[in-house]
Chains A and B, each alone.
Chain A
Amino acid sequence: MEVKTTGVAGTLESSDIQITISKNASGIVIDLESEVKKAYGDQIESVIKDTLTKYGLANCKVKAVDKGALDCVIKARTLAAAQRATETSDKPDLEVL
């Protein structure tokens, strides 16, 4: 699957995460901002990476602004952003969740 446009999902509210997915030549590059980066940064990045990989996105840039979201929220926002970026929102792959 390929990134066609910039896809955004999520808000900057407490306990949410805003994920912005855009084009990248090769590999998944994650730029994470989080108040809990020291304690949970690795975990957040691995959830994002796993979700994207399962969705079949191998090359993209991810900007993640985390406000203390739980893993389930991170997965959902990543998936929504990926669907918007790949313009596949009309046929969501819910299996990835």
Chain B
Amino acid sequence: MENKVGRILPDDLMAKMNLKPYESDEIGHPEVQRVAPKVRVTAGENKVVSSLEEVIKNNLKDGMTISFHHHFRNGDFAFNQVMDKIIELGYHDLTLAPSSLTGVMNDKVIEAIKKGVITNITSSGMRGSLGDFVSHGGLKNPVIFRSHGNRARSIEEGEIKIDIAFLGVPVSDPAGNANGQDGDAVFGSLGYALMDAKYADKVVLLTDNIVDYPNTPASIQQDQVDYVVKVDKIGDPDKIGSGATRFTKDPKELLIAQTVNKVIVNSPYFKQGFSFQTGSGGAALAVTRYLRQSMLDAGITASFALGGITKPTTDLLAEGLVKKVMDVQDFDKGAALSMAQNKDQQEIDASWYADPHNKGAVVNNLDVAILSALQIDTDFNVNVMTGSDGVIRGAIGGHQDAAKAKMTIITAPLVRGRNATIVPAVETVVTPGSSIDVVVTERGIAINPKRQDLLDAFSHVPGLKILPIAELQKLAEKQVGKPKKLEYTDRTVALIQYRDGTIIDTIKQVKD
């Protein structure tokens, strides 16, 4: 069958997994039924245990679903400790349902797949050796990729039923009151893990830092927690801030950032009390700096900044240019430390942040989203999941969710090395073109034709070169040439869900 973004979906798999094709980015007003976790009642005594092995043996069974969060990013010591034990104990057929998978987890996941310990995965994304392994057919069942908002929805509606959540925290008390703001390995917001704490049948905290009861602020609460496992070390503070976050000196990215700033300032949304979300891409980070100056010049302040938060954003909060930070995760140490110091940096869970099936998520209140892309096509569809070689190397993150902002800006250089970024058709559709309003490259900007209002607003702005997106695509092709079409096998290695759980695209095994 073909879905509404023109992607052919495998009928047999769709029927077998009871999946529906993507229709529209409008969510509407469906009535949904949420699920609730099973609770083993205790008065809370003896939660602290030193043997991770005992906890696993007494609770985990073959075929169960286990979850983790990725707030420690590449400084995570929780995942590998738990998986080592699970592999050692010889479990089979587990479903792995983390909020996302970071590079430090890759080799352990591959080992677990090869030994039959893990047979199903759902995640926001994967990169490096694991993405390569899956793209080459290493996992029998297709991976299901979900955005952060969609993961929250899927957990609430029981599509992801977590049997045991293993959640690393830098601090907890003996009863399980925990947060991400104190201890050696602080990462700030526990936003994604809060879903697991609320909905998993068993919640196992792992920490190297048990403090006196009661520990506040309690992001995860004692009434949700079954065990507190004491480990030697839960994370490497120096590596939590690494990964996607970097500060650019690249003149091309700076030009893109300046242009984005120009787009925002000249849009109808740039007024007292506006709101914005920037991703963690190089250009997106630099935008924050330019936006700061524009806000000072215009004498306006933002009501809130949303999303994955970085230090440039918390600096704006400290300066009073942003009134509130709605914080689902922190990309660097500066942002993480700021959460403990500034009450206006509000921790939000993934449902509050971006869930399409609740009574209104923060993304629905968002004016401007600045997001990055691996590829954008002439229908404005965005790929943040597969490289130009067709191999999995990305994550949906909050891309589909934040793209519901009133103005969604995609930033990307026209080409990266020899790969065109603006292409006739993306390898993988992750965010539908209908959600995208403006594409900013160093050679010019393209505006989605459905946004005549923005076209009118920007057409008189000096220095903003507006081109049809097909023109940008041709410029890119002229530079790098026409690539040979990639070859895939018929086998589906991953499914890309849209926010509402419908299938927007699939990823096939690459041919080598």
Contact = CB atoms under 8 A, between A and B. Distances in A.
A43 interface: yes
Contacts of A14: 417
Interface stretch (B136-144, B287-295, B342-350, B480-488): B480-488
B13 to A, nearest CB: 25
A38 interface: yes
Contacts of A69: 418
Contacts of B419: 36, 39, 68
Contacts of B480: 40, 70
B486 A40 contact: no
Interface residues of A, number: 15
Judged by DSSP, the binding face of B is loop
A70 to B, nearest CB: 6
A67 interface: yes
Nearest to A39: B483
Contacts of A15: 417-418
A14 B417 CA distance: 7
A39 B389 CA distance: 7
A90 interface: no
Contacts of B486: 38-39
Interface string B473-485: 0000001110110
Interface string A55-79: 0000000000001111100000000
A40 B481 contact: yes
A70 B417 CA distance: 8
A35 interface: yes
Contact of B389 (A38, A42, A71): A38
B417 to A, nearest CB: 3
A39 B388 contact: yes
Given A39-B483, A40-B481, A43-B481, A70 B418 contact: yes
Contacts of B487: 38
Nearest to B480: A70
A38 B484 contact: yes
Contacts of B389: 35-36, 38-39
Given A14-B417, A15-B417, A68-B418, A36 B481 contact: no
A15 B388 CA distance: 16
Contacts of A36: 388-389, 417-419, 483
A42 B481 CA distance: 12
Nearest to A73: B418
B6 to A, nearest CB: 22
Interface in B406-423: 416-419
Interface centre among B417, B480, B486, B487 (most CB of A within 10 A): B417
B417 A40 contact: no
Contacts of A40: 418, 480-481, 483-484
Contacts of B417: 14-15, 35-36, 67-68
Nearest to B479: A70
Interface centre among A36, A38, A42 (most CB of B within 10 A): A38
Nearest to B511: A38
Top 6 A-B pairs, shortest CB-CB distance:
A68-B417, A39-B483, A68-B418, A36-B418, A39-B484, A38-B389
Interface of A: 14-15, 35-36, 38-43, 67-71
